Amino acid sequence: MSDPRSISKWKARHAILVVIGILLNFAFVIPLLFWPEWILGLFQIPVTQLIWPRFSGLLLGILSIFYIPATIDIDRYRIFAWLAVFPSRSLGAVFFFIAVFVFGQPNGFLIGVLLDGSIGFLTLVCLIRIVRLEQDVANGRGT
């Protein structure tokens, strides 16, 4: 039997993971906007034009803001929760994986695989668990 309280626990876990993901994103957003040479140097990623890393930092910040509604009310903004996994986090991880292993980009880009892949996978697990628990309750198997 599913305990409705466990649905709330999984929703809370999802929100916490998304907030952690947002904070991790902003750990890149701020340096990319203001100190792109420094942050890219940490990962041994060469840069010739500062506008592109700054622009990608801006886009990452904007994207991260769209993750917020599902942390506040996952029932109302469920589609945002799923979009945060597919395509956002999953394609981010795939993009950087292919960039490094197919196109020979610097290994520093693997941080994108690690960050997007781990947060995406963990939030996907939460979403799947939430849906299953809700289905159990809807089918009368909940308490």
Percent of the chain with pLDDT over 70: 96
Local confidence band at 141 (pLDDT 50, 70, 90 cut-offs):
confident
The mean per-residue pLDDT over the stretch 50-72 comes to 98
pTM of the model: 0.94
- Range list of H helices, 35-77: 36-42, 51-65, 68-72
> In the chain, what is the greatest distance between 2 CA atoms, to the nearest angstrom?
60
